[in-house]
Structure 1
Amino acid sequence: MSHRHPRRSEREQLELFRALPGDLAPRDAQDLMAYPFFSLAKTPRTTPIDFRSGDVTIRVEAVAEHGMATIWDADVLIWAASQIVEARDAGLRTSRLMAASPYEILTFIGRGTSLRDYQRLRAAFDRLQSTSIATSLRQASERRLHRFSWINEWVERADGHGRPAGIELIVPDWFYRAVLGDALVLTIDRAYFRLTGGLDRWLYRLVRKHGGRQPHGWRLDFRHLHQKSGCLSPFKRFAFELRDIIRRQPLPGYRLSAQADASGRLLLAFEPEPCGYPVEPLVLSGTPAIVLSGTRDSCYQEPKPPVTYCAGTKKRSLNLDSNVESNIDDVGPVQSRDNIGQGRAP
């Protein structure tokens, strides 16, 4: 009489990959940078994200108990991508089953290591595991959808005194293949983890991804950006917050500005920061004392926050090298105008 063997769990079928030590370069998956996969709000979101553009379909669903995975929770996936790529480049065997201590993950993503930080990390794991994604990205046909969660499962280990000793998690095959695929991962600035605003973080990832090979920058229509963000705020509010980001200049490595095309549409223009040295907030002429101009306010101070200026600004063009799907259909050939910051408000 034959005996039926119990089916092994996914965990038992995977070889454990232990996190590599050291200060690894942070790397992000380009698909996650370019499309709306995460909530940008700090309050729990359960309203689904529905995004369609060309043959790309994305639907993100959340449960009321945990809410949708946020762009801050995505830091865990940046950690995972960085570990997988580093190990692959070193000739080591990688796996979807990953093990690390909470301390290693928290320090990598620039968080504290207190009990409260660890509790927030656990909540992030819960949101990543309970958020459901269905997408046609990287499928053979746009009619075929790949369904998964950001974490298939996770478990925390404890020592004999009940203190956290480590975490094991399984990332989905869709994410794992995206990270291992050629040219599907980009290195990001570590200063990204210091960005506190959800829209700031989303915009940096989009700008970093869509910068492509354009040394003189690139432009995107405000309404197209609103669509790609997946946020719930109305366009008018989104445009206000986007202009505030342009005013603050928080994105590491990039300079932002607003431009208007011939039809009056407001565009976000960005280009790599070429020199990286901020303008001094106070520049004196060398006279023995400060000399005012007679205007209502003193005019020897630069506006705050300081913006980096370098000579030789060039016209920005569409990123035709690596982002055809996001340029041709949504922006079209834009006639260059040098009225930066003077575009008509939406």
Structure 2
Amino acid sequence: MRPPDRSQSERAKLAVFRAIPGTLAPRDAQDLMAFPFFSLSKTVRTVPIDFRTPDVTIRVEATGEYGMATIWDADVLIWAASQIVEARDAGRCTSRLMVATPHEILAFIGRGDSARDYERLEAAFDRLQSITIKTSLRHAGAGQLHRFSWINEWKRHTTREGRARVVELILPDWFYQAVLDDALVLTIDPAYFRLTGGMERWLYRLVRKHGGRQRSGWKFDFHVLHLKSASLSPYRRFAFELRAIVQRQPLPGYRLAVERTMDGREILTFSRDKLSTSPCGQTVSPSVLSGTPEPAKAVTSGTAKPCLCEQKSPNRDIESEGYDALNLESNLKDSNFKDVGTPPDLWITPGEGR
């Protein structure tokens, strides 16, 4: 007897969410910004990411055929999160089953429209679908783990000429519920998509997650950053690249600096760039900082239903929709990696003078 077709049964239970056309504010999931889930290199990585603290376990495994999903592949998830939040705020139904044209996705993430761009997008779908993640994040009970892939499945519909007409993506419930939770999504600068280096992209997301609009800025020890990146580069190489990023100042909306402690340790500091006044979405040079002074909007709480049709809550005005509020929540959680067993002399707290 043939086993039941689980993919078809899952598809049958999900409403179809047609992507919203036009320009949307990019949103990113905070869990993906704060923890290592992606390869920072364009070369194929098959070595698993194995990140463990007393409170958090993350294991990302790749296949030999496709390799690890990269931080450039994560642009697809940023597109998906942006679509879901935009629809939710407009009172529209959302679903884990998303339908869009490849052109819509490519345009949102700042890619071209050539045949090569379409091929790379499909390769990203393959990597996002083929890897598996096992994590304890957002599970309160001890020993609870959730295993999933970034895309449960994807499907391409083509024209008679063989050109891609639309694609269907089914997102995992772990990611979908995080996006519906208004405390777990942050708006990012569209200039992020123009960052070309994997470390630059990873660092921007980490800085955006922890820095917010902290008036006193934030600090991380270089060794802590190396651990949080899950990079395969030796520490010396990682530190060299980090210093080079600080020298270039490519991160939109943030000013980076390096401090050296009395015992010779290097500390990365970052804060909002007060001189940054460029409107959100304006084309900028990689060496010029830009900002997004867009006011915050009210957003709704999440729901466990497959199709969300809730109205916006008038009593929730939080940072997840803009840069105006302080990112105080990150002060109290994993911000300085204190739960990873790092010696106390490596802990750096925001605004702490050394």
- TM (norm. structure 1) is 0.82
Equivalent residue in structure 1 for 2:331, among 310, 313, 323? 323
Within 5 A, what are the aligned runs for 1:1-346? 9-276=9-276, 321-324=329-332, 325-327=334-336, 329=338, 331-332=347-348, 336-337=353-354
**Residues 103 and 328 (structure 1 numbering): CA distance in 2 closer, same or farther, change over 3 Å?**
closer
Segment of structure 1 superposing worse, 9-18 or 74-83: 9-18
- Tell me how far 1:277 sits from its aligned partner: 7.0
- Tell me how far 1:140 sits from its aligned partner: 2.3
CA contact (8 A) 2:254 2:289 kept: no
CA contact (8 A) 1:262 1:335 kept: no
**Residues 125 and 321 (structure 1 numbering): CA distance in 2 closer, same or farther, change over 3 Å?**
closer
Which deviations, in whole Å up to 9, do the C-alpha atoms of 1:47-72 show, x marking residues without a partner? 00000123101000000000010000
CA contact (8 A) 1:98 1:168 kept: yes
- Percent same amino acid at aligned positions? 66
5+ residue gaps in structure 1? Answer: 279-303, 309-318, 338-346
Q: How many residues align?
A: 298
- Tell me how far 1:320 sits from its aligned partner: 6.3
Distance across 1 between alignment mates of 2:176 and 2:287: 39
**Residues 232 and 110 (structure 1 numbering): CA distance in 2 closer, same or farther, change over 3 Å?**
same
**Residues 22 and 66 (structure 1 numbering): CA distance in 2 closer, same or farther, change over 3 Å?**
same
Segment of structure 1 superposing worse, 94-103 or 160-169: 160-169
Distance across 2 between alignment mates of 1:6 and 1:116: 33
Q: Which runs of 4+ in 1 moved over 4 A?
A: 5-8, 304-308, 332-335
- Tell me how far 1:185 sits from its aligned partner: 0.3
CA contact (8 A) 2:49 2:230 kept: yes
Amino acid at match of 2:71: I
Distance across 1 between alignment mates of 2:102 and 2:119: 10
- Tell me how far 1:306 sits from its aligned partner: 7.2
5+ residue gaps in structure 2? Answer: 279-285, 291-326
CA contact (8 A) 1:212 1:321 kept: no
CA contact (8 A) 1:320 1:327 kept: no
Calculate the aligned-residue CA RMSD, in Å: 2.2
**Which residue of 2 is the match for residue 301 of structure 1?**
none
Distance across 1 between alignment mates of 2:14 and 2:172: 12
**Which residue of 2 is the match for residue 344 of structure 1?**
none
SS in structure 1 of the partner of residue 110 of structure 2: coil
Q: Which has the higher contact order (CA 8 A, sep 6+)?
A: 2
- Tell me how far 1:261 sits from its aligned partner: 3.0
**Residues 43 and 92 (structure 1 numbering): CA distance in 2 closer, same or farther, change over 3 Å?**
same
Amino acid at match of 2:353: S
Which deviations, in whole Å up to 9, do the C-alpha atoms of 1:130-178 show, x marking residues without a partner? 0100000001224111000000000000122222110001000000000
- Tell me how far 1:9 sits from its aligned partner: 1.6
Amino acid at match of 2:105: I
CA contact (8 A) 2:251 2:289 kept: no
Amino acid at match of 2:116: R
CA contact (8 A) 1:261 1:336 kept: no
- Tell me how far 1:22 sits from its aligned partner: 1.3
- TM (norm. structure 2) is 0.80
Distance across 2 between alignment mates of 1:322 and 1:66: 34
SS in structure 2 of the partner of residue 268 of structure 1: strand
- Tell me how far 1:305 sits from its aligned partner: 5.7
**Residues 228 and 142 (structure 1 numbering): CA distance in 2 closer, same or farther, change over 3 Å?**
farther
SS in structure 1 of the partner of residue 183 of structure 2: coil
